[in-house]
Structure 1
Amino acid sequence: MRRLFLALLLASGAAHAAIDLIDDQGQAVHLAQPAKRIVSLAPHITEMLFAAGAADRVVGAVQYSDYPEAAKKIARVGGYTSVDMEKVAALKPDLVIAWKSGNRDAHLGKLKALGIPVFINEPRRIDDVAKSIAQLGKLAGTEAAGDAAAQAFRKRHAALSAKYSARPPVRLFYEAWNRPLMTVNGEHLISDVIRLCGGENVFAKLPVLAPVVDTEAVLAAAPEAIVASGMGEERPEWLDDWRQWTRLSAVARGNLFFIPPGLIQRHTPRILDGAERLCGQLDEARARR
Structure 2
Amino acid sequence: MVKMDNKGMKKGIVIIATLTIVLSAIAFSSVPVGAGTLTITDDFGRTVTIHGVPERIISLSPTNTEILFAIGAGDRVVGVTEYCNYPEEAKEREKIGGVTTVSIEKVVSLQPDLVLGDELNGKETFERLEELGITIVGLNPENISEILDDIMLVGRITGEEKNASSLVKAMNRRIEEIKNKTSDVKRPKVAHITWHDPIWVAGSGTVQDEMIEIAGGENAFSDIKDWGTVSLEKFIDRNPEVIIVSVGHGVAEMAPYEYILNEERLKVVDAVKNERVYTINADIASRAGPRIVDATETVHGYLSEFRTPMPSATPETSGFEAVLAIIVLLAVVYLSGRTNRF
**TM > 0.5 between the two?**
yes
**Matches of 1:131 and 1:223 in 2, distance apart?**
33
User: Which of 247-256 and 278-287 deviates more?
Assistant: 278-287
Q: 1:282 aligns with which of 288, 303, 309?
A: 303
Structure possessing the higher relative contact order (Cα contacts under 8 Å, 6 or more residues apart): 1
Match of 1:169 in 2: 187
- SS of structure 1 residue aligned to 2:95: coil
Indicate conservation of the 8 Å contact 1:16/1:34, yes or no: no
Greater Rg, structure 1 or structure 2?
2
Match of 2:280 in 1: 259
- SS of structure 1 residue aligned to 2:235: helix
Match of 1:154 in 2: 172
Indicate conservation of the 8 Å contact 1:51/1:133, yes or no: no
**Matches of 1:260 and 1:173 in 2, distance apart?**
15
Higher percent of residues as helix: 2
Q: 1:268 aligns with which of 289, 305, 314?
A: 289
Match of 1:194 in 2: 212
**Matches of 2:222 and 2:270 in 1, distance apart?**
19
**Matches of 2:114 and 2:49 in 1, distance apart?**
10
Question: Runs of 5+ in structure 1 lacking a partner?
Answer: none
**Cα distance 1:5–1:116, how it changes in 2: closer, same or farther (>3 A)?**
closer
- Once the two structures are TM-superposed, the CA of residue 210 in structure 1 deviates from its matched residue by 2.4
**Matches of 2:182 and 2:244 in 1, distance apart?**
17
Query: How many residues in Structure 1 have an aligned counterpart in Structure 2?
Result: 283
Q: 1:137 aligns with which of 152, 155, 171?
A: 155
Q: How does 1:69-218 map to 2 (within 5 A)?
A: 69-100=88-119, 102-207=120-225, 209-218=226-235
Q: Which amino acid aligns with 2:148?
A: A
| Sequence identity (%) | 30
Indicate conservation of the 8 Å contact 1:224/1:285, yes or no: no
Indicate conservation of the 8 Å contact 2:187/2:306, yes or no: no
Given the alignment of the two structures, is residue 10 of structure 1 paired with residue 27 of structure 2, yes or no?
no
**Cα distance 1:37–1:16, how it changes in 2: closer, same or farther (>3 A)?**
farther
- Once the two structures are TM-superposed, the CA of residue 220 in structure 1 deviates from its matched residue by 1.9
Indicate conservation of the 8 Å contact 1:243/1:251, yes or no: no
**Matches of 1:144 and 1:14 in 2, distance apart?**
23
- Once the two structures are TM-superposed, the CA of residue 238 in structure 1 deviates from its matched residue by 2.9
**Matches of 2:186 and 2:286 in 1, distance apart?**
24
Indicate conservation of the 8 Å contact 1:16/1:32, yes or no: no
Indicate conservation of the 8 Å contact 1:124/1:188, yes or no: yes
Using the size of structure 2 for normalisation, the TM-score is: 0.76
**Matches of 1:260 and 1:7 in 2, distance apart?**
55
**Matches of 1:151 and 1:249 in 2, distance apart?**
38
- Once the two structures are TM-superposed, the CA of residue 165 in structure 1 deviates from its matched residue by 4.5
Alpha-carbon deviations, 1:168-219, whole Å to 9, x = none?
2211111112233212221111111111012122222223x32222212211
**Cα distance 1:270–1:8, how it changes in 2: closer, same or farther (>3 A)?**
farther
- Once the two structures are TM-superposed, the CA of residue 55 in structure 1 deviates from its matched residue by 0.6
Give RMSD over aligned pairs.
2.5
- Once the two structures are TM-superposed, the CA of residue 8 in structure 1 deviates from its matched residue by 6.5
Using the size of structure 1 for normalisation, the TM-score is: 0.89
- SS of structure 2 residue aligned to 1:257: strand
- Once the two structures are TM-superposed, the CA of residue 277 in structure 1 deviates from its matched residue by 1.4
Question: Runs of 5+ in structure 2 lacking a partner?
Answer: 1-20, 309-342
